[in-house]
């Protein structure tokens, strides 16, 4: 493209011709109104239908379980704040709550006391630290609002944090050489009052107590289950809620589209690790400080459901399949009549099906009109005077005829071809 390559004009011309082409078609719809409805299936019909669909009816194993959850958030409202304990938290955390003093200063390092003294005198005499360093083989290090702990050399740090704003030190012997410091801005540290951090500390206290309660109750529950006590009764004693889960597969899927346990992988695994109905798991971690225990309530083995259990649904499917087959046969019959030469209007009238004209269709219009994609594809994929049928859904089949194909206006196609060639 950079070198000036362009697609051959026939590419754009073909696209323009196809886009601007118009087609006229007629359709009528065949559905269950055009057939004699079949009689309800007999028991033998349903049994045969069940046998023929046995492979499709296979279901995975389903397990239903009850769960008890230990969530710190469930304990928050029941915890009373102990002010003495919160005050102790403040005292214990005071060192971490303090905002340390920070300082900005320039440090000039050198390897000899003589050079350090000369640098100190030069800075005091009005030279900048950079000028003094250059004259006496020094190196400049700048600290911008750093606490004392941020200065690597403890001896130099102690000296720096003993100076006043604007003060220049003499030669300071550090751990790896000598240094001179010119002190800049000083920001004093601050210790927050108890009142200013009380809300945060109280919140932390409640969370800690909730976590402690989770730990205590989960251990108590675990000990009780190991001792053979009843799952529900133990939960009730501890004030915990037992929730009955929906039957699920080994992947956490359920028959309810709104319920999916797959995102709780540890929970699903725990359920499928249990040996039999009635057994319970130990307390296990769910994540984010939460724990859980499950009891397996019921196991539905993999396989097809018994015939008697789904007889009603099978009868509905049998009927739907029979109706769809009869509708298809009626549409096929109409198509055969059209191919033998009967008029489109006459065949439609014999089926009491109104004819719908679809005139002036083009591809751009079809995308916006909501015309079924299968029908649009058949109209634009056929030839003039061709008859066709196409399913719209399970019980509606469109029978159609392509009445005319109007090729694109040459002038319009040429203009469009030029516009889209890029």
Copy the structure tokens of residue 154: 């403890």
pLDDT band at 45 (very low <50, low <70, confident <90, very high): very high
Mean of the pLDDT values across residues 345-372?
90
pLDDT at position 359 is 93
pLDDT at position 418 is 87
Question: How many other C-beta atoms lie within 10 A of the C-beta of residue 87?
Answer: 13
Mean of the pLDDT values across residues 388-403?
95
pLDDT at position 212 is 94
Q: For residue 383, give the 3-state DSSP assignment.
A: coil
Looking from the CA of 65 toward its CB, the CA atoms found within 13 Å total 29
Q: What pTM, to 2 d.p., does this model score?
A: 0.53
Pick from 178, 182, 69: nearest CA to 124: 182
Mean pLDDT computed over every residue of the chain:
93
Is the confidence at residue 1, as pLDDT, over 80? no
pLDDT band at 8 (very low <50, low <70, confident <90, very high): confident
pLDDT band at 37 (very low <50, low <70, confident <90, very high): very high
pLDDT band at 265 (very low <50, low <70, confident <90, very high): very high
pLDDT at position 328 is 96
Is the confidence at residue 415, as pLDDT, over 80? yes
Alpha-helical segments (H) within 227-308: 231-237, 265-273
Mean of the pLDDT values across residues 113-136?
95
Measured between alpha carbons, how far is 224 from 411 in angstroms, rounded to an integer?
88
pLDDT at position 169 is 96
Contacting residues for 349 by C-beta, under 8 A, at least 6 apart? none
pLDDT at position 40 is 95
191 and 182 Cβ atoms separated by less than 8 Å: no
pLDDT at position 420 is 84
Is the confidence at residue 95, as pLDDT, over 90? no
List pLDDT tens digits, range 199-230: 999 999 999 999 999 999 999 999 999 999 99
Q: Which of 18-22, 61-65, 248-252 has the lowest mean pLDDT?
A: 18-22
**Percent of the chain, pLDDT > 90?**
85
pLDDT at position 369 is 74
Is the confidence at residue 190, as pLDDT, over 80? yes
Copy the structure tokens of residue 405: 């194909």
Mean of the pLDDT values across residues 316-333?
96
Is the confidence at residue 422, as pLDDT, over 80? no
Q: For residue 14, give the 3-state DSSP assignment.
A: helix
Pick from 254, 226, 225, 252: nearest CA to 238: 225
Q: Sign of torsion, CA 105 111 115 117? A: positive
Mean of the pLDDT values across residues 8-33?
92
Show the 3-state SS of 308-351: HHHHHHHHHHHHHHHHHHHHHHHHHHHHHHHHCCCCHHHHHHHC
Measured between alpha carbons, how far is 67 from 167 in angstroms, rounded to an integer?
69
CA distances from 87 to 21, 54, 75, 206, 209 (A): 84, 71, 22, 13, 15
115 and 108 Cβ atoms separated by less than 8 Å: no
Measured between alpha carbons, how far is 72 from 201 in angstroms, rounded to an integer?
17
Is the confidence at residue 366, as pLDDT, over 90? no
Mean of the pLDDT values across residues 155-179?
95
pLDDT at position 153 is 94
Mean of the pLDDT values across residues 366-387?
89
CA distances from 318 to 51, 135, 406 (A): 12, 102, 45
């Amino acid at each position: 493209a950079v070198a000036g390559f362009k697609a051959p004009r026939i590419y754009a011309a073909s696209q323009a011709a196809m886009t601007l082409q118009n087609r006229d078609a007629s359709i009528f719809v065949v559905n269950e109104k055009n057939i004699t409805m079949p009689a309800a299936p007999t028991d033998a019909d349903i049994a045969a239908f069940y046998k023929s669909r046995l492979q499709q009816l296979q279901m995975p194993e389903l397990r239903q379980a009850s769960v008890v959850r230990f969530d710190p958030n469930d304990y928050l409202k029941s915890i009373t704040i102990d002010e003495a304990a919160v005050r102790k938290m403040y005292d214990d955390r005071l060192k971490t709550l303090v905002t340390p003093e920070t300082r900005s200063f320039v440090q000039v390092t050198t390897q000899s006391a003589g050079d350090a003294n000369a640098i100190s005198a030069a800075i005091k005499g009005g030279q900048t630290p950079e000028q003094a360093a250059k004259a006496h083989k020094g190196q400049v290090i700048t600290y911008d609002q750093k606490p004392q702990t941020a200065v690597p050399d403890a001896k130099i740090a102690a000296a720096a944090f003993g100076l006043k704003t604007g003060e220049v030190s003499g030669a300071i012997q550090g751990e790896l050489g000598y240094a001179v410091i010119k002190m800049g801005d000083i920001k004093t540290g601050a210790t927050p009052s108890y009142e200013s951090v009380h809300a945060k500390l109280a919140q932390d206290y409640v969370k800690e107590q909730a976590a402690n309660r989770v730990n205590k109750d989960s251990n108590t529950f675990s000990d009780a289950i190991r001792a053979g006590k009843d799952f529900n009764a133990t939960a009730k004693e501890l004030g915990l809620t037992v929730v009955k889960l929906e039957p699920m597969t080994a992947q956490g899927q359920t028959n309810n589209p709104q319920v999916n346990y797959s995102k709780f992988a540890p929970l699903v695994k725990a359920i499928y690790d249990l040996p039999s109905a009635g057994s319970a798991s130990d307390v296990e971690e769910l994540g984010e400080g939460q724990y859980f225990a499950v009891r397996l309530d019921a196991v539905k083995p993999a396989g097809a459901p018994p015939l008697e259990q789904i007889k009603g649904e099978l009868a509905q499917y049998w009927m739907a399949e029979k109706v769809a087959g009869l509708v298809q046969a009626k549409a096929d019959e109409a198509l055969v009549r059209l191919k033998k030469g009967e008029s489109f209007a006459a065949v439609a009238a014999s089926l009491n099906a109104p004819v719908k004209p679809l005139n002036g269709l083009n591809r751009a219009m079809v995308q916006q009109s909501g015309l079924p994609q299968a029908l649009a594809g058949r109209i634009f994929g056929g030839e003039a005077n061709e008859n066709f049928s196409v399913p719209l859904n399970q019980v509606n089949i469109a029978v159609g005829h392509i009445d005319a194909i109007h090729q694109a206006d040459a002038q319009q196609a040429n203009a469009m071809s030029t516009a889209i060639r890029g």
